[in-house]
Chains A and B, each alone.
Chain A
Amino acid sequence: MGFRASFPILSLAIFVSGGPVLAHHSFSAEYDADKPVQVAGTVTKVEWMNPHARFYIDVKDDQGNLTNWNIELGPPFILQRLGWRRDSLKIGDQVTVAGYSAKDGSRAANAKKVTLADGRSVFAGSQAQEKPTQ
């Protein structure tokens, strides 16, 4: 019988930093933490589904062509506890997304920060603190 508690006692902050390993999905399976990406565009679709909410944005490239990006968020069961809802982001909203690129090079990203045109953040913190445009 053994209870091996040899692991160092670490702060909550470090535990939090272990998020993706403990998270519902394996971040590393899909996204590259060494490839940050920032895209800006118009919301075309919102999927409020588990295990990850997603939304899609049309992004204009350097040649003026529109490409559609798939942006991954956390799960609705957490976002809802933060006060966000499926209509917190609306089709037509102008957003800037900072995140990490898909490993396979597709137009997909894992969101770290989503900012509306007026500078307010969506899906970060509690909606009570930063209420998005209704």
Chain B
Amino acid sequence: MRSLAIAICLCWFSLAASGQTEFGSLTGSVYADHAPVENIPVEAKNVATGNIYKAASSPKGEYKFEQLSAGTYEISVLLILYRPFLRKDFAIAAGQSQHLDIQLSGTLTASTLGELPALFELFSKRPPPPKGPAPRMPNGKPDLSGVWMTPPSYLLAAFSQQPDLQPWAEAIVRERLLNEARDKPSARCLPDNESTEPFVGLLPVKIVQTRALLVALIEDVIAAHQVFLDGRSHPSDVEPTWMGHSVGKWDGDTLVIDTVGFNDKSWIFVVTPHTGMLHMTTRLRRLDLGHLQIEATYDDPATFKEPVMTSVVDVLAPDEDLDEVVCENNQYTEHVNGK
């Protein structure tokens, strides 16, 4: 009995002693294009335990993990706006302070000539939208018709959502950020965010409205998103599709669109998955002649811990129209390693 007491005592002292030295710390700064950046989430994943620790950079770009169990870590910064940063096999030694500066690079260097940066530049040179009151249909309801474009600043806010995700979805987001979204649907000529946000895009979206139907014609994929305004309900056996089944009704001057029946193939917020249970509510309100407000709510408890909202204001682009965009020369599979 006495020997057992001594053993327990020794064990306690041993644990107490190791408790003072089994932790190390990690500090550093986060830079983007050589300038410190704040509020960048940094993750340290303990390779042995799988535990993930999180820190955020300060206004000076500094981050700090004060207590990390000694061991091997993966240090990462995974955001859609930067190429992924991943440092594997980073050793944290007991009782020591490590330093790691993180240099993020935008993916500008990897942009294709004549692709999105050029489109952003074109948008920045656009004339302001026309002024005037929101037009109305003969039945007195607001007329949302027109060619609309989403300013890049709104796209940034909408697409850079970081919703609270269920673990399975968070794991997929992490994987997609690490591989720079190499398997995104549009790499196979399939829709990206157009599935859930048919009224949002850098490319023009043309809304055609009648008393009983609103149609969004979308340039970036060959698609027309129908919203039935004739009072019908969703079919009881709705077939899952990329864009779902939409019905709309007026709440004052706001058109409230209810959409169900999505398949589970779309990527939303660039890299986030969802299930077929996704239920969307989209509220369209023409603020004036030149502006269309779009507020969307994503409700999918199997993916999101709480519903997520996006808010965008499109501008009217009366000088624009849709081009034909048939995806016909996709050469994806020819150049993908291992595929």
Contacts and interface: CB of A to CB of B under 8 A. Distances in A.
Interface in A34-50: 47, 49-50
A57 interface: no
B323 A80 contact: yes
A16 B38 CA distance: 19
Pick from B112, B186, B271 the residue with the most CB of A within 10 Å. Answer: B112
Interface string B148-159: 000011011101
B51 interface: no
A76 B203 CA distance: 13
B332 A30 contact: yes
Contact of B179 (A1, A2, A28, A72): A28
Contacts of B337: 103-104
A26 B110 contact: no
B335 A21 contact: no
Contact of B308 (A3, A8, A70, A76): A3
Nearest to A82: B118
Interface string B309-324: 1010000000000010
Given A19-B108, A51-B327, A124-B114, A25 B309 contact: no
Interface size class of B (residues with CB under 8 A): 35 or more
B156 A21 contact: no
Interface residues of A, number: 64
B328 A50 contact: yes
Nearest to B80: A21
Top 7 nearest A-B pairs (CB, nearest first) are A17-B106, A74-B114, A28-B180, A74-B115, A17-B108, A29-B182, A33-B110
A18 B336 contact: no
Contact of A2 (B109, B157, B308, B331): B308
Contact of B328 (A49, A77, A80, A84): A49
Interface of A: 1-8, 10, 12, 14-31, 33, 47, 49-54, 70, 72-82, 84, 99-100, 102-104, 106, 108, 110-114, 123-125
Contacts of B119: 78, 81
27 contacts: A1-B307, A4-B163, A8-B38, A8-B39, A12-B124, A14-B81, A17-B81, A17-B82, A19-B107, A21-B181, A21-B270, A22-B159, A24-B186, A26-B180, A27-B111, A28-B180, A33-B110, A51-B186, A52-B329, A73-B112, A75-B115, A78-B115, A82-B114, A82-B118, A104-B336, A108-B335, A110-B110
B308 A4 contact: yes
